[in-house]
Amino acid sequence: MNRGTQFATTLLAWLGAAGAAWAAGADLGQAEKQPTNWTAITMFAIFVVATLFITKWAAARTKSAADFYTAGGGITGFQNGLAIAGDYMSAASFLGISAAVMVGGFDGLIYSIGFLVGWPVVTFLLAERLRNLGKFTFADVAAFRFGQAPVRVFAASGTLVVVAFYLIAQMVGAGQLIKLLFGLEYWIAVVIVGALMMVYVLFGGMTATTWVQIIKACLLLGGATFMAVMVLWNFGFSPEAMFAKAVDVKTGLATAAGKAPDAAAKEGFSIMGPGGFIKDPISAISFGMALMFGTAGLPHILMRFFTVPNAKEARKSVFWATTWIGYFYVLTFIIGFGAITFVLTNPQFLDAKGGLLGGGNMAAVHLANAVGGNVFLGFISAVAFATILAVVAGLTLSGASAVSHDLYATVVKRGKADGASELKVSRVTTVALGIVAVLLGIAFEKQNIAFMVSLAFAIAASANFPVLLMSVLWKDCTTRGAVIGGFLGLVSSVVLTVVSPAVWEATLGNPKGSALFPYASPALFSMIIGFVGIWLFSVLDQSPRAQQDRAGFQAQQVRSETGIGASTAATH
Amino acid sequence: MDDNLTARVAADPRYQALKSKRSRFGWLLTVAMLIVYYGFILLVAFDKSLLATRMGQGVTTIGMPVGLGVIVFTIIITGIYVQRANKEYDDLTEQIVKRALK
């Protein structure tokens, strides 16, 4: 048995025939419980205490609904860029991508690039217009000139479905990770995450959430930078030397596994080029579309654009977000190669069978120990936990605002709800979401949740994004078209995911080859269904409402382009 | 916003210019991004060996600068848009708004 066999088998199953398993960004697998790590727990406790002080400060400033949803619109572009990055870089992408690079080398890079390329599209087509048209949620934008109730019901459904899948993935990931890093029981970890996120959102609203995300982004970027610099420093800052050593290590592993010298050399060198990640072009394109356009349809990300005072700051915030996230993926790539050279060669980090102690996703964590010792290991573990908190807080806030602002205030109360009662509903929803998230997190402990994050991206790309784009840019879009097309995109992306190999075979346990939909991601098809649905039902729509919808386009466009009439920052 | 104001802004030639310039530039850059990313993906799908070609004597392959290049390109193209919008489009917007609200 060569070292790494155990995790390699796990990860091979994970990379699987279906690339969808690659979207397993959030799947941390079944983790083994580790001895209690007091350094990590102490560092995490410091983070929690600091964030609770911030929450207390934020609570004093959170009086109106605008404070709760958008921090009063007073966040700067640079701060918001960091917060978006903090919202987007999950613990799973840190641990998952560095582990993927350790196993597959270049393939891990291909995977991470997919998560970055959506950001320019958001910048060019949506960011400024979103800021000019919206107030609290993306439904404000999608429903701007349309019949409020139907579009809001659609947008709230799109939001809650995306948030639910994303949240379950994060909760299960959190439980596994904390079990792994801190040596706590799974359920305790899930309850801690649920309780803290409720406290942040409940009392501190968007202000606390934003600062938790900013701090976490700084800690994660700082920690990852330190690791990458230490790795490169060991190779005299020569990437070639690092790559050469990594190829060497991989070749040695293949030889130890009984490969002939030629085959071993070939296998060692395979990390330097594309491997099995992209099998068929259709899956590759479809998965790429889910990541690219899903980014532009994630409700918790879109919501962040309303926290800045104007379109200029909105635009700047995406630029900073893109920069930090791109930089982060470069770091994870170096960290992955560092793990090959420092972790796979050190018996201290390997179990009896040669696998990584604690499972495949521990690559970055062991590397932290290798380059920075026990204290830095504690720091990185605490950062990973903090990362999950920041992401779940953003998700919860977004789900709560969909219920209170879109469903309660606009649909139930027909726009006549007062701020105080709207705020109350969002707080009740926050508690409900927190409890549901904890229960689902516990219920899904043993489930294969690899598909959930990719499903969330596919739904966002096929339902939220088409409706948003068409309502903002296409004059002839109507209420009926947007709602029917949006739901078609939503339903088709869910159904096609369920009958794809990753869920039908890998999760539901049906025989191999029985999946009706052969590709890794539904986005290529469900996005077309969504867009064509919106177009067709808008063109066919001759109702009086449709005429009103089309007539409203000019006023909407003037506001979206110039910002005249856009909601302004609350004064404190 | 009242209809009168909307109509006034909509009739402003500078508004027309802003709208078409920004839209053209935004879509142009979007298409550039799509070409670069899906070009990269298709390259990986159809010619794996090209990206796995060694660049020199060492083990570094063409894929490395290409992959990192896609990341850098993504950041730069976003920066280009923001740079132009911050100057040109914001100036134009300011003029339009000033005139409309006069």
- Which tens digits make up the pLDDT trace of A333-373? 999 999 999 999 988 888 877 778 877 778 898 999 999 98
* Residue A29, pLDDT score: 52
CB neighbours of B94 closer than 8 A, spacing ≥ 6?
none
The 3-state secondary structure of A457-478, one letter per residue: HHHHHHHHHHHHHHHHHCCCCC
Work out the average pLDDT over A415-422.
83
| Rounded mean pLDDT, A545-551 | 91
Cβ contact, residue pair A319, B68, below 8 Å: no
3-state secondary structure chain B: CCHHHHHHHHHCHHHHHHHHHHHHHHHHHHHHHHHHHHHHHHHHHHCHHHHCCECCCCCCECHHHHHHHHHHHHHHHHHHHHHHHHHHHHHHHHHHHHHHHC
Residues of chain B with pLDDT under 70: 1-2
CB A115 within 8 Å of CB B70: no
**Distance between CA B45 and CA A449 in Å, rounded?**
27
Is A7 within 8 Å of A355 (Cβ atoms)?
Answer: yes
Q: What is the pLDDT of residues A128-171, one digit of tens each?
A: 999 999 888 999 898 899 988 999 999 999 999 999 999 988 88
Give the total residue count for chain B: 102
Please compute the mean of the pLDDT values over residues A421-435 and round it to a whole number: 92
Of all residues in chain B, the one with the smallest CA distance to A560 is: B19
Total of domains in chain B: 1
**Mean pLDDT across A545-570:** 84
Instruction: Provide the pLDDT for residue A569.
Output: 55
Mean pLDDT of chain A: 87
pLDDT over 70, % of chain A: 93
Write the single-letter amino acid at A149. A
Mutate which of A110, A111, A117, A295 to disrupt the B interface (most B C-beta within 10 Å)? A117
pLDDT at A350: 87
Position A34 scores a pLDDT of 66
In whole angstroms, give the CA distance from residue A533 to residue A129. 23
Residue A237 has pLDDT above 60, yes or no: yes
Both structure tokens of A430: 């926050």
Q: Is A28 helix (H, G, I), strand (E, B) or coil?
A: coil
DSSP label of A446: T
In B67-86, the residues whose Cβ lies within 8 Å of chain A are 67-68, 70-72, 74-75, 77-79, 81-82, 85-86
Establish if B33 touches chain A: CB-CB under 8 angstroms: yes
Whose structure tokens read 């060669």? A345
What ranges do the domains of chain A cover?
Answer: 6-238+295-562
DSSP structure string for A90-157: -HHHHHHHHHHHHHHTHHHHHHHHHHHTHHHHIIIIIHHHHHHH-SSSHHHHHTTTS-HHHHHHHHHH
- Spatial contact of A23 and A457, defined as CB atoms under 8 Å apart: yes
> Is the pLDDT assigned to residue A275 strictly greater than 90?
no
Determine the pLDDT at residue B11: 84
Q: How close A388 gets to chain B, by Cα (Å)?
A: 25
Chain B residues inside the 8 Å CB shell of A119: 74, 78
- Distance between CA atoms of residues A445 and A468, nearest Å: 34
Q: Each residue of A28-65: pLDDT tens digit?
A: 555 666 677 788 888 888 988 998 999 999 998 888 88
Mean pLDDT over A523-547 rounds to 95
Which residue, among A80, A124, A129, A465, would best test binding to B if mutated, counting the most B CBs under 10 Å from its CB?
Answer: A124
Is A443 a residue whose pLDDT tops 60? yes
Say what the alpha-carbon torsion angle A483, A488, A493, A494 is, to the nearest 10 degrees: 90
- The secondary structure of A469-509 as a DSSP string is HHHHH-TT--HHHHHHHHHHHHHHHHHHHHTSIIIIITTT-
pLDDT beyond 80 at A330: yes
Of the given ranges (A30-44, A250-264, A428-442), which has the lowest mean pLDDT? Answer: A30-44
Asked whether residue A447 carries a pLDDT value surpassing 80, the answer given is: no
Residue A7 has pLDDT above 70, yes or no: no
Domain housing B46:
3-101
Cα distance between the two ends of chain B: 14
Res B39: pLDDT: 94
Model-level pTM?
A: 0.90
Mean pLDDT across the stretch A62-74? 87
Does the domain made of A6-238+295-562 have the CATH classification 1.10.3720.10? no
**Beta carbons of A243 and B64 less than 8 Å apart:** yes
User: Residue A477's pLDDT is what?
Assistant: 94
